[in-house]
A and B are shown apart, each in its own frame.
Chain A
Amino acid sequence: MPLDASFAALADPTRRAILARLALGEATVMELAKPFEMTQPAISQHLKVLEGAGLIVQRVDGARRPRRLAKPGLDAVDQWLTMLRKALEKNYDRLDGVLAAMQSEHKRKR
């Protein structure tokens, strides 16, 4: 089932990072391999999984085979803001606990 394939494809952090990169525009295997310290065959394997899941497509451009998102619906700004929100929510929830501890400490000392 394509839907199951999509979930499996997204379970891997490298593949999610590849999607994040492709949200900025199309890229070749070589360009995609660069930031990941991975060999091109390893990246190609990830691309095959993403293609199989219908998340990305490739285009023929002479000898180049640039990949792009199958649907440019994953806006990069949205993705980044979502990441920021998650990180901040986590931080401030922790800070609530830290502040509560500071306040009770303060009261004890008075």
Chain B
Amino acid sequence: MNKLTLKTEGDTHVIVTRHFDAPPEAVFRAHTDPRIVQQWVLGPEGWTMPVCINEAKPGGKIRYEWKHPKQGGFHLTGEYIELVPYSKIVHVERMFLPDPTPDNHVETRFEPDGAGTRMTMRMTLPDGKTRAAMLATGMEKGMEASYVRLESMIGNLMPSAASH
């Protein structure tokens, strides 16, 4: 099972790990070749990425534009800082919602893990204002889990109603 782990590091960072059943060369390429990035960096169902610029070299530009038939669109820009083929990518990125969010500094590492790859990504936890803007964007699908949590919270608040 290729399960994702996600944990916070202090108040400022988020660490994500995931295993892939493919060697680091392939996983690295999937993160840096725009034709491949376009196929999977899409978030919740319904979004497409009609524009994908990805210049995988130090100082190279990143620009992703997403579209949704009902929820409009938004884009992200970024720059590569460091690339070590097949093992490390360091870049910064910001979303335009439409105001730019503070720079998110992302370090992604790929290590051989059996016949596959273990990926570790360390990113910046955005401040409260940025989180609210991101939550209010079209990524509403991702809130379904909160919805479920809220459901149980309501259940706790109103035991008489919940028991009927």
Contacts and interface: CB of A to CB of B under 8 A. Distances in A.
Interface in A1-18: 1-3, 6-7, 10, 13, 16-17
B135 A17 contact: yes
A21 B106 CA distance: 26
A85 B26 CA distance: 23
Given A1-B164, A17-B135, A83-B134, A90 B20 contact: no
A68 to B, nearest CB: 14
Contact of B6 (A23, A74, A88): A88
Interface residues of B, number: 52
Given A10-B147, A86-B141, A91-B41, A20 B136 contact: yes
Mostly helix, strand, loop or mixed at chain B's interface? helix
Contacts of B164: 1, 3
B84 interface: no
Contacts of A82: 142-143, 145-146, 149
A63 interface: no
Interface in B4-39: 4, 6, 8, 14, 16, 18, 20-22, 26-27, 29-30, 36, 39
Interface stretch (B50-58, B73-81, B151-159): B151-159
Contacts of B149: 74, 78, 82
A99 B6 contact: no
Contact of B136 (A17, A87, A106): A17
Contact of B161 (A3, A83, A99): A3
Interface in B122-158: 125-126, 128-129, 131-136, 139-147, 149-151, 153-155, 157-158
Interface of B: 2, 4, 6, 8, 14, 16, 18, 20-22, 26-27, 29-30, 36, 39-45, 125-126, 128-129, 131-136, 139-147, 149-151, 153-155, 157-158, 161-162, 164
Nearest 5 CB-CB pairs, A to B? A83-B142, A86-B142, A20-B135, A99-B22, A94-B40
